[in-house]
A and B are shown apart, each in its own frame.
Chain A
Amino acid sequence: MADKQTVTFIITRQDGPDSAPYKETFNIPYKKNMNVISGLMEIRQNPVNANGEKTTPVQWDMNCLEEVCGACSMVINGTARQSCAALIDQLEQPIRLEPMSTFPVVRDLIVDRDRMFDALKQVKAWIPLDGTHDLGPGPRMPEKKRQWAYELSKCMTCGVCLEACPNVNDKSNFIGPAALSQARLFNAHPTGELNASERLNGLMEDGGIDGCGNAQNCVEVCPKGIPLTTSIAAMNRATNIQAFKNFFGSDHAH
């Protein structure tokens, strides 16, 4: 049914952060093993839309082209995913490309994912180092723990889980699944564990873990297969215990 000679894209474009979005259709020549990014590159080479009018090249974000950097997320045929891993042969045509609606649009398909980095700050998703001097070798980590922690470390802040989450939107302040899982990652680290309560208290701040409504779309759509819902449930338990410690406990630090 689809014409193998051409590929049709319907792209939701936006000239700037404050301008109105509009749709533009492009027909490009089919090539074997194309992905969405190579299709966009084709448009960039010859920015002529389906009506034969010359237009501006479509802007998008990309970096590694092997699904590890998280930059090229967009909504492809209604579902958020990495455009570098979206093969034309596996997509229904016309292929509809939209920017992720959870984030402010910079231009065309480029979105501003700053809120994800603010979320990482809220949950203190890093390991503080005390100075630049040599601290010696770090503490050892049980191999089994390392294995699941490694899975969590694959998060590339791509934003697909936020886009799929019904509770991450302009009406709510929920920071989204990615940062909740990162808090678990750094709390699992033997050195990071020293600041575990700070991250848990970050998860309990407004917009934190209580924003989760257990729709579990995040774990279904995560391109890296991160067990986000397991992380959320584990952090639910940890924050509950922390809340009791904060209220009843004698020592607020741990």
Chain B
Amino acid sequence: MAEHREFLTRRLHSFLGVVPIGIFLIQHLVVNHFAVYGEENFNQAADFMHNLPFRLLLEFVVIYLPILFHAILGVYIVFVARNNTKNYGFFRNWMFVLQRVTGVITFVYLIWHVWETRIAIGSHGADYSLMEGILSNPIMFWFYIIGLVSTVFHFANGLWSFCVTWGITQSPKSQKIVTYATVIVFLALSYVGIRTLITFAYGV
């Protein structure tokens, strides 16, 4: 086993990106969407999430540790690539570069986001007015939009390479169809998230 360490860490990296990080991302965006239905609804949902049994343990096992592993190994993966879209401007090569660019943007955004909405506010959970306060600043609004879109892109495109890495899609045809499917995932999750951000920022 030890001689396959690199292989196993890369497979773990691919797996964690979808389970649990991808699943958590979908859940996070959907629960936050309660904001669109009103302040009361959002606070209720946020309270429910905040008061889950074993919350701290869940946060570490499902969110913090997998993301930390994925992010640190991810930065290394970014470092060992030599991007060459200038000479080889194929679609998948651009996706390869964008996957790395959005990964880094997501990492920077997440550090800020976790600090601002989790660590800085202490033991009481985030509520509607906190998000309203952050996002009514246009600079922060656009920072969140960029962070959200690159996170969702990284997840959707990562889903595509997950399917290849795990040998699910082998034929060019199946890989193409999954490309279209991941575009839909990207658009759908972007809508769910951006709609929420607009509500926080503009109250509509």
List chain A positions with a Cβ less than 8 A from chain B. Answer: 78-79, 164, 166-167, 169, 171-172, 201, 204-210, 213-217, 220-221, 227, 229-230, 232-240, 243, 246-247
A-contacting residues, B73-102, CB 8 Å: 77, 79-84, 86-88, 90, 92-93, 95-97, 99
Cβ contact of A243, chosen from B11, B87, B161, B164, cutoff 8 A = B11
B73 to chain A, nearest CB (A): 11
Cβ contact of A205, chosen from B4, B160, B166, B167, cutoff 8 A = B4
Chain A residues whose C-beta falls within 8 Å of the C-beta of B165 in the assembled complex: 214, 236
A203 to chain B, nearest CB (A): 8
A-contacting residues, B153-186, CB 8 Å: 160-161, 164-172, 175
Closest 5 CB pairs of A and B: A237-B167, A215-B96, A210-B10, A216-B92, A233-B170
B2 to chain A, nearest CB (A): 11
Cβ contact of A233, chosen from B6, B90, B96, B175, cutoff 8 A = B175
**Most chain A CB neighbours (cut-off 10 Å) among B4, B97, B161:** B4
**Most chain B CB neighbours (cut-off 10 Å) among A166, A204, A206, A235:** A166
Chain B interface: which size bin?
A: 35 or more
Docked pose: A215 CA to B4 CA in angstroms: 23
Does A229 contact B167, Cβ atoms closer than 8 Å?
A: no
Taking A229-B164, A236-B166 as known contacts, 12 extra A-B pairs with beta carbons closer than 8 A to each other, sorted by chain A number, are A79-B88, A206-B7, A213-B96, A214-B164, A217-B88, A232-B164, A234-B170, A235-B167, A236-B167, A243-B8, A246-B1, A247-B1
Chain B residues whose C-beta falls within 8 Å of the C-beta of A210 in the assembled complex: 6-7, 10-11
Identify whether the interface residues of A are mostly helix, strand, loop, or mixed: helix
Cβ contact of A239, chosen from B7, B90, B172, cutoff 8 A = B7
Chain B residues whose C-beta falls within 8 Å of the C-beta of A205 in the assembled complex: 3-4, 6-7
Docked pose: A216 CA to B89 CA in angstroms: 11
Chain B residues whose C-beta falls within 8 Å of the C-beta of A169 in the assembled complex: 80-82
Chain A residues whose C-beta falls within 8 Å of the C-beta of B161 in the assembled complex: 213-214
